[in-house]
Amino acid sequence: MAVALFFADALPCAAQQPPVNAEPLAGYAPGLMPGDQIEVFSTDLTEAPDVKLTIGPDGTVNFPYIGTVKLEGLTPAEVQTKIAEQLKVKQIVLAPVITVNVVNARNYSVTVLGEVRTPTRIPLFSATPLSLVISSAGGFTPNASLHVLISHANGSAPEDVEVSRDMHDLHTLNATVLPGDVIAVVPAGSYFALGEFNHPGVFAIVSTQHLTLLQAVATAGGPTTLGELSRARLLRTVNGHREEIIFDAGKLERGQIADPLVHTDDIIYIPRNNSKNLTNNWLNTALTLTGLSFSLATFLK
């Protein structure tokens, strides 16, 4: 479908790493869930000083000496208190000292997916800068678009963060990741510049997802002198259908029309102006004949 439009009008988890921050997040206690794994340490329990537990589908665990304990919805600190209280109630230990370590818990970790060197689940217990979380996953791959989506577990709106490759920009450093969040680093896209470009080809959208049409044209070396600028085309697939948008590349360069964003898999095409080509052919022929005439006249002297 051709549309004449002027833009002026329009992973598996890797090995667990040490927690980034073991302090509970004030005002944010999502709690343990079925399937989460914890480790309970106590020097008071000589026969079971180190107990590894997985919370069952009913939210409970079977702890030595005290039996079934409901842990679903509790924070690690609350688990410590509950187990210690149960040991005292059953007169197993008069003043137990319990330490709980979260081995693998969805609400006490952050999942990093996409274009990072080590897609993984990282233990996390407090609000943490995005830059630190990305670094803990090995940093960006060369194919990363540096366009990061943060899906928050607490129900707030997802964040769309555009970061720099060196992670030095203030906005990136201040972007907050919470326990339970999922971070997706979007892979780089690409676009095609075909026809009368000085350097036609396929170009990656690497440093940003916000590449404008003018920037894309410049990256391809700009139009050649034979390009019919007023009939340039942007071909884009929308809902499975290819749409063709006609724009004036000359007006775009002069800032006379809006400069829209380029999407992944867009095709930018500048056709050849046949009249210019014909004129150039006549000009070349005339120059050739003039050169021959001059050479012949010089030879006959």
State the pLDDT at residue 32. Answer: 92
Length of the chain: 301
- Give the Cα separation of 66 and 291 in Å (integer): 106
State the pLDDT at residue 209. Answer: 54
Contacts of 279 by beta carbon, 8 Å cutoff, 6+ apart: none
Nearest to 198 by CA among 260, 270, 278, 281: 270
State the pLDDT at residue 170. Answer: 61
State the pLDDT at residue 298. Answer: 47
Ranges of residues in the chain with a pLDDT under 70 are 1-30, 155, 164-173, 206-209, 275-301
State the pLDDT at residue 169. Answer: 64
- Give the Cα separation of 82 and 269 in Å (integer): 68
State the pLDDT at residue 36. Answer: 93
* 232-238 β-sheet, strand order: 2-4, 241-247, 232-238, 267-270, 189-195, 201-205
State the pLDDT at residue 274. Answer: 72
State the pLDDT at residue 124. Answer: 87
State the pLDDT at residue 15. Answer: 38
State the pLDDT at residue 24. Answer: 42
Q: Domains of the chain (ranges plus CATH)?
A: 37-104 (3.30.1950.10), 107-187 (3.10.560.10), 189-275 (3.10.560.10)
- Give the Cα separation of 145 and 162 in Å (integer): 9
State the pLDDT at residue 247. Answer: 93
- Give the Cα separation of 195 and 200 in Å (integer): 7
Instruction: List residues bridging with 136 in a β-sheet.
Output: none
Alpha carbons within 13 angstroms on the beta-carbon side of residue 118 total 15
CA trace torsion 151, 155, 161, 167 (10° rounding): -70
CA trace torsion 162, 168, 173, 174 (10° rounding): -80
| 266, 202 contact by CB (below 8 A) | no
Report if pTM > 0.75. no
State the pLDDT at residue 259. Answer: 92
